[in-house]
Every structure is written in C-alpha cells, then in structure tokens.
C-alpha cells in the first residue's frame, strides 16, 4: 500500500493498516463542526488555533468527513467515527483542532497499533506535533527498543542532526554494544555527504566505541574512510582502543559509560515442584515482579548467558551436560531451540560472554572427573573450539567478565576443598594468569561485576555458608572486604542492575531461598527487596536484559 504524507514541511510518511471505531465524547460532532464553521468562515474571523498555519487539504478533508457523518451520527444515537488508514492522517489534526478528544484518542490508539520500524519516527513526530502524550511515550519506547531495525530506514536518514544526536546520546538506548550506533551515524552522514560530513565529529562524541570490541574498531572504525579523513574522529578510535587495552582505572567520560536501556532482571526455571515453562522479570523502577510470556517448551535451566541482549543461552543441562539451548526473547511466543553442543560434557562449570562468544570452563566431566579445560562458542560462526586450559582444576566456582577479561573465582579443587585462588583469561592472547587470592576460601559463590569492580558474594568455606562479601579492583590488584549480606547463601546469582548488585536465591544447609537482596556501593549497605517472585524457584537462572517491548505492564501502557 502506498503511504501518505502527513506534513508537507517535513515530508514524513506513515504506513498504517486496519481500522478502529470510536464513540463520540461530550459534544456531538455536528455541534462542533457548526461552531467551527461559523467562527472560521470566509470573512467571519480568523482561526486562532496556534497550529493554523499547518492546516492543509488533509485537515479540510477530515472536517468534510466529520460533516458528512453528521446525519449518520444522529441516527446512530451514540455516534461513531471509523478511523482507517485512508483518513487517520487527516482526522488526527482535525480532531486536535476541533478538540474532539474521543476521535483524537482513537487516532492515537490506531497509530500505536501500527508502529513498525519503517514508520515509528514519523508517528513520534506526529504525536509530538499534536501533543499526544501517550503516543509520544509508546513510539519513543518502540524506537529505542527497535533501534537496530530503525536506523537503516528512510525516516532515520531524513532526521536532522539535532534529532540524531538526541537519539544516539540517550543513555537508555537498548543496544548490547555501540556497533549499531556507529553504523547508524556513518549511514546518516553518507546519505547527504556534502552537507553532513562536517557534522561527523559532533556525532562521534556520542558513539561509545569502548563498548564495542578491539577487533571491531580495527576492522570497521579505523579503516572507515570518513574516520580516516577526520582527525578528531580518528582520535576517538584510538581513545577507545586505549580504554579497551587498559587494565587500570577507566575514566568515566560519557563514551566509556555503558548504556542502561530499560534494564530488568530475567528469571527462568529453577522450580522443582511445578511447571518449568514460566519466566518472570523484575522491574527495579516499580519494585515489582511480572510474568513474561509463557515458554512453549519446558526445560530445566542450568546456567544462563545473554548475547545481543535478545538471545538467552542455557548451557549444559537436561539429559546431556553438553547440551546448549537458545531462547529468542524478541519473539512474543518464545521457545527453547537446540543450539550447538559443547565439545566436553561439563557439570558445576562456569560460563561467561565476551564479544558475542560464550566461554565454558572447568567443572566435572560425565564420570565426575575434574576438568581444567576450557572452550569457546562463536555465535557468528556457530561453532565451539577448545582454548587454553586453566592453570588449576576447579568446579563450583564463580565467573565474572571485566574489561573483556574472564575471571574464575574460588570453587572446589580435585579433593572438594574450597579455594581462595582466582585466575584470569585474556582472549586476545589465549592465556590464563593468576590474580590476587581472595581473603577467604569460597566455593559456590555468586560473582557479579558492577562499575568496574568484581564482587564475590557468599558461598561456602568448607564448613559454613557465608554472608561475607569481598570486592576486587584491577587498578589496586587486591581484594577488600565489604558489608556482609543479610542472609548467608551458597549458589546465589549475583547480577548488576541500575547501579546496584542484586543477589537472587541460593540455599543454606537446610533451606532454599526465594528472597532477593541488593547492595548499594555508594553506601556500602545491603537491603532486602520487598517484592517476592510469583513462583518459588530453586536455583533459577538469572540474567539482566533490556526489557523487550512485549514485556508489558499496566504502568508501561
């Protein structure tokens, strides 16, 4: 279907499908049309509406449509106007002008239902023009959550430089890395190179290159002709390389700070007594748990990792501890799909993600023999390969990723003794090296990373469950004790969210926990999260994700 232009000044286009019916509100349409015509007839006065200069044939057509329906509305008694793809672009400005709130709401509902990557920017601009607050909010959420699909479209390429900067500087833009942001900037500049090339340095200030990878910068950024021909932009590329290669303190300038998106905690599986096809998510802004879409397939979850923010991998569970399954959260009807099996069967192992690669290390094999080996799965090639083995055997340890390095923390040795040792893997060198020992021995600890700090939470020292917590900063190279948790836990999940470290679940010698507590590094204090999961879950998988658009609640509508 051919789209219609809604605003001659901006030459935007929308594509909408379907139709919606709406009841009249307050005054009848005939009354308002008559009043409007009397006040604004030729020689009868001027239109005082602030948007009068925007009136065009579409608005006049819409007024005619309202006028022609007067008889029908009277007969109908309560009155209805049908909003369709043919009339919505005229009805909305006319309804706004004539203060027909019911018709205006119906137009907004119709446009909201038709949001897609090719029209969302135009709908957002239209909503802003007519002060449709709900539609503004919903279209902005859609643009942000579908940025990777939106940035290549005609609407994005036609934005002004101010609009592009507003979009790419948004700290909550839900991108797993800034590769898409960089590519969107280059595409936008090349669309009108003559007039836009001079604006490139201003745009590159807002591209967070350190959040991409060294390989990506060397291959795609430094070699880009537009970057090569701009000294300031070239400097941003080398600045990012220095930041990525540094193990010291990273300056907290905007280009080094991760985008937050609308982050939520995702919890899957973990309940032994009941269905395992449900997932829940926790919204820290409302302090509430919500059910997500029901999973089509039932699965016992082991260890969760996330790639590209939409793809959740469950590694090593069910009948085979080599098995890997993937869940696509962008689908409104998600189901577990088999992925490529690991090369080695692993139990009580550790997993982490660096640059879209899943690392699986250590653990126990199918005969419960101790493992020192490690392997990596490349999401882009869909293949596993062996990498350098750890320096020591360990199982039941924690894993954290910091500055593109993989840290394995504590665990059990081959004699089931708890360890205080820590080692670090550098993917670019395929090499392990030891780092400072923890202050106490910990197996079954939760490990999380927050604001450039590695945390080891709880666990077991060989005798007791622990409530103690310690933190490691690469810049100092030592572990320091911080405030204890409220509840001693082993096998907890530790994840960072909105500047806090959340600890979920775990168990003690006699009971399982469904409680959650969070740590505030600014105050060095722990607090219990009052809201509890909707389902009691025993050792579930927990990860942080950007909230998918279809993870909706009443507050978000």
Q: Do 336 and 304 form a contact (C-beta atoms < 8 A)?
A: no
| Whether pLDDT at 525 is above 90 | yes
Calculate mean pLDDT across residues 94-113.
85
pLDDT digits (tens, 9 = 90+) for 245-283: 776 655 667 787 777 667 899 998 776 555 567 788 998
pLDDT digits (tens, 9 = 90+) for 339-382: 999 999 998 899 999 988 999 999 998 788 889 999 999 998 99
Domain 161-256: which CATH number of 3.30.300.20, 3.40.50.300, 1.25.40.420, 3.40.50.1950: 1.25.40.420
The boundaries of every CATH 1.25.40.420 domain in the chain are 161-256
- Number of Cβ within a 10 Å radius of residue 553: 13
Token pair listed for 387: 């990498």
The long-range contacts involving 389-394, CB below 8 angstroms and separated by at least 24 positions, are 389/432, 390/361, 390/362, 390/423, 390/425, 390/432, 391/423, 391/432, 391/433, 391/434, 392/419, 392/421, 392/423, 393/362, 394/362, 394/370, 394/419, 394/421
* Mean pLDDT score across all residues of the chain: 81
Cα(34)–Cα(20) distance, rounded to whole angstroms? 25
The boundaries of every CATH 2.120.10.80 domain in the chain are 263-556
Q: Which of 442, 466, 470 is nearest to 454 (CA)?
A: 470
- Quickly list DSSP for 443-462: BS-EEEEETTEEEEE--B-S
Q: Which CATH architecture has domain 4-145?
A: 2-Layer Sandwich (3.30)
- Res 332: pLDDT: 75
| Whether pLDDT at 14 is above 80 | no
| Whether pLDDT at 425 is above 80 | yes
- Res 68: pLDDT: 53
Calculate mean pLDDT across residues 474-485.
97
- Res 249: pLDDT: 55
The boundaries of every CATH 3.30.710 domain in the chain are 4-145
- Number of Cβ within a 10 Å radius of residue 435: 19
- What whole-number percentage of the chain has pLDDT above 90? 47
383: helix, strand or coil: strand
pLDDT digits (tens, 9 = 90+) for 535-545: 777 778 899 98
- The CA–CA distances, whole Å, from 313 to 240, 322, 324 equal 29, 13, 7
Cα(538)–Cα(514) distance, rounded to whole angstroms? 7
Higher pLDDT, 466 or 41: 466
Cα(96)–Cα(109) distance, rounded to whole angstroms? 14
Q: Tell me the pLDDT band of 52, cut-offs 50, 70 and 90.
A: very low
Q: Do 482 and 469 form a contact (C-beta atoms < 8 A)?
A: yes
Domain 263-556: which CATH number of 2.30.140.10, 2.120.10.80, 3.40.50.150, 3.50.50.60: 2.120.10.80
- Res 149: pLDDT: 83
Token pair listed for 62: 């819409």
- The CA–CA distances, whole Å, from 1 to 33, 85, 89, 314, 476 equal 31, 10, 15, 42, 62
| Whether pLDDT at 50 is above 50 | no
Q: Tell me the pLDDT band of 120, cut-offs 50, 70 and 90.
A: very high
Q: Tell me the pLDDT band of 152, cut-offs 50, 70 and 90.
A: confident
| Whether pLDDT at 200 is above 90 | yes
Higher pLDDT, 222 or 556: 222
| Whether pLDDT at 426 is above 90 | yes
- Supply the Cα-derived Rg of the chain in whole angstroms: 28
- Res 271: pLDDT: 62
pTM of the model: 0.60
- Res 408: pLDDT: 98
Calculate mean pLDDT across residues 175-179.
78
SS (H, E, C) 522-533: CCCEEEECCCCC
């Amino acid at each position: 279907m051919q789209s219609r232009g809604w605003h001659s000044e901006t030459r935007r286009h929308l594509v909408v499908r379907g139709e919606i019916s709406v009841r009249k509100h307050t005054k009848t349409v005939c009354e308002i049309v008559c009043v409007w015509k009397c006040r604004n007839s030729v020689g009868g006065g001027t239109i005082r509406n602030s948007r009068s200069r925007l009136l065009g044939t579409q608005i006049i057509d819409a007024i005619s449509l309202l006028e022609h329906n007067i008889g029908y509305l009277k007969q109908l008694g309560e009155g209805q106007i049908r909003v369709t793809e043919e009339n919505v672009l005229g009805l909305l400005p006319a309804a706004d002008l004539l203060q027909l709130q019911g018709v205006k709401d119906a137009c907004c509902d119709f446009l909201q239902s038709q949001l897609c990557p090719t029209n969302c920017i135009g709908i957002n601009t239209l909503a802003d023009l007519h002060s449709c607050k709900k539609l503004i909010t919903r279209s902005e959420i859609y643009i942000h959550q579908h940025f990777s699909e939106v940035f290549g479209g005609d609407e994005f390429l036609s934005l002004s430089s101010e609009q592009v900067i507003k979009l790419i500087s948004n700290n909550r833009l839900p991108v797993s890395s800034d590769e898409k942001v960089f590519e969107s900037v280059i595409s936008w500049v090349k669309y009108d190179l003559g007039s836009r090339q001079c604006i490139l340095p201003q745009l590159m200030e807002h591209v967070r290159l350190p959040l991409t990878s060294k390989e990506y910068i060397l291959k795609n950024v430094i070699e880009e002709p537009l970057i090569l021909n701009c000294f300031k932009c070239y400097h941003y590329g080398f600045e990012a390389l220095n930041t990525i290669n540094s193990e010291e303190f990273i300056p907290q300038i905007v280009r080094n700070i991760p985008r937050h998106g609308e982050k939520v905690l995702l919890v899957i599986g973990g309940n032994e007594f009941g269905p395992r096809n449900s997932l829940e998510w926790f919204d820290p802004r409302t302090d509430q748990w919500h059910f997500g879409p029901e999973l089509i397939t039932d699965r016992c979850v082991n260890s969760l990792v996330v790639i590209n923010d939409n793809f959740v991998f469950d590694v090593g569970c069910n009948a085979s501890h080599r098995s890997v399954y993937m869940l696509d959260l962008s689908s409104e009807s998600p189901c577990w799909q088999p992925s490529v099996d690991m090369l080695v069967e692993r139990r009580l192992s550790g997993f982490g993600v660096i640059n879209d690669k899943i690392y699986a290390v250590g653990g126990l094999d199918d005969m419960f023999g101790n493992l020192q080996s490690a392997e990596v799965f490349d999401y882009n090639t869909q293949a596993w390969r062996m990498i350098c083995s750890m320096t020591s055997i360990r199982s039941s340890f924690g894993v954290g990723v910091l500055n593109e390095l993989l840290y394995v923390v504590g665990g059990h040795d081959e004699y089931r003794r708890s360890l205080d040792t820590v080692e670090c893997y550098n993917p670019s060198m395929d090499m392990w090296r030891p780092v400072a020992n923890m202050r106490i021995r910990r197996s079954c600890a939760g490990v999380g990373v927050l604001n450039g700090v590695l945390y080891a939470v709880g666990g077991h020292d060989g005798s007791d469950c622990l409530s103690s917590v310690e933190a490691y900063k690469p810049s100092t190279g030592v572990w320091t004790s911080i405030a204890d948790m409220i509840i001693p836990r082993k096998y907890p999940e530790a994840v960072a969210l909105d500047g806090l470290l959340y600890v979920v679940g775990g168990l003690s010698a006699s009971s399982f926990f469904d409680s959650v507590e969070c740590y505030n590094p600014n105050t060095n204090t722990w607090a219990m999260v009052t809201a509890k999961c909707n389902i009691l879950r025993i050792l579930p998988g927990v990860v942080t994700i950007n909230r998918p658009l279809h993870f909706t609640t009443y507050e978000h509508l």
